[in-house]
Amino acid sequence: MELIDTHCHLTFEQLAGSVDAVLQRSIEAGVSSWITVGIDLNENKKVLALSEKYANLYAAVGIHPHEAAKTQDADMENLKQSAKHHKVVAIGETGLDYHYDFSPPIDQARIFKAQLQIAADLNLPVIIHSREAFDDTLKILNDYRSSLKKVVFHCFSYSPEQAKILLDYGCFLSFTGVVTFKGAETTRLSAKSTPPERLMIETDCPYMTPAPMRKQKINEPAFLVHTAKFIAELKQVPLEDFASAAASATRSFFNLTKK
């Protein structure tokens, strides 16, 4: 059985000091490939350095909407250069977040568009972070529709109706441990309605620890297996079948075989 953690933050301080042990526990749990994701220029640098150390560790570089206000247009050239690194498989995470008020929407939109342009220029998939900003996210994506081939909404938490709009649009949806949370009925319905060939899974660690590991404050890739089991049961398919469908969707989306 192959499990791939499509979105983790191994460079964050909660995990960065113990990556060897974290990845060892991950491999023992059956999670043997990872994409570690950047959120700003500083973090992107760390992501690239870490990805060079482990064969099955891939990188995504991007600027999180929270960091948009302090990001200059000139920083985009830096991002574009780092995206040419041989372990980079996507631009992200990027998008819009209206839940927190860390950056004005106008800055978020500016930085989001610039990153979609980089993804289009370099022919890379995009990892989208979108929270309470569904309509605006889609509106901006629409402007790049012809030049972007692969788009995944990470930590998916929108409704099944919104899931359908994105699936019709050609997007992939990626689910975290949130599906296991008590109050997350909407997310469960969305996961249930997403076809296996468009569904990916992720930890988004160190956040979003799935049940039954909620007591562990720091999430890690090994716990992905709980999210996988949960969604497999939700979809009433054997875990092995679910895992292999998610892994093959992931491999083709991020083109992992070529790296």
| Per-residue buried b or exposed e for 82-116, using 16+ beta carbons within 10 Å of the residue's own CB | bbeeebbbbbbbbbbbeeeeebebebbbbbbebbb
| Least CB distance to Zn ion at residue 204 (A) | 5
Strand 31-37, strand 172-175: pairing: unpaired
Nearer to Zn ion, 40 or 204 (CB): 204
> Under 8 Å CB-to-CB from 117, ≥6 apart: which residues?
144
Tokens encoding 211: 């049940």
* Helix, strand, or coil (residue 61): strand
Dig out the tokens for 111 from the structure: 């930085």
Measured CA to CA, the distance from residue 134 to residue 138 in angstroms comes to 6
Measured CA to CA, the distance from residue 8 to residue 31 in angstroms comes to: 12
Q: How far is the CB of 237 from Zn ion (least distance, A)?
A: 27
* Window 204-233: residues binding Zn ion (CB under 5 A): 204
Binding mask 106-135 for Zn ion (x = CB under 5 A): ------------------------------
Between residues 38 and 109, which has the closer beta carbon with respect to Zn ion?
38
* Binding residues among 68-107 for Zn ion as defined by CB under 5 A: none
Question: In the complex with Zn ion, which residue's Cβ is closer, 202 or 232?
Answer: 202
Least distance to Zn ion, CB of residue 5, Å: 11
Nearer to Zn ion, 150 or 235 (CB): 150
Which CB atom, from 204 or from 220, has the smaller least distance to Zn ion? 204
206 preceded by a cis bond (ω within 30 of 0) = yes
* Stretch of 41-49, 69-77, 176-184, 199-207 lying at the interface with Zn ion (CB under 5 A): 199-207
Choose the stretch contacting Zn ion; rule: CB under 5 A; options: 27-35, 133-141, 168-176, 196-204: 196-204
Q: For the CB of residue 7, give the shortest distance to Zn ion in the complex, in Å.
A: 6
Q: Report the nearest approach of Zn ion to the CB of residue 193 (Å).
A: 23
Single out the segment in contact with Zn ion by CB under 5 A; choices: 100-108, 166-174, 185-193, 200-208.
200-208
Number of residues engaging Zn ion in binding (CB under 5 A): 1
Residue 26 Cβ vs Zn ion, minimum distance, rounded to whole Å: 17
Residue 94 three-state SS: strand
Query: Among residues 5 and 204, whose Cβ is nearest to Zn ion?
Result: 204
Assign 210 to helix, strand or coil.
coil
**How many other C-beta atoms can be found within 10 angstroms of the C-beta atom of residue 25?**
15
Shortest Å, Cβ 6 to Zn ion: 10
Spatial distance between the Cα atoms of 70 and 60, rounded to a whole number of angstroms: 20
How many CB atoms are closer than 10 A to CB 197? 12
Q: Please, are residues 206 and 220 in contact by the beta-carbon 8 Å criterion?
A: yes
Residues engaged in binding Zn ion (CB under 5 A): 204
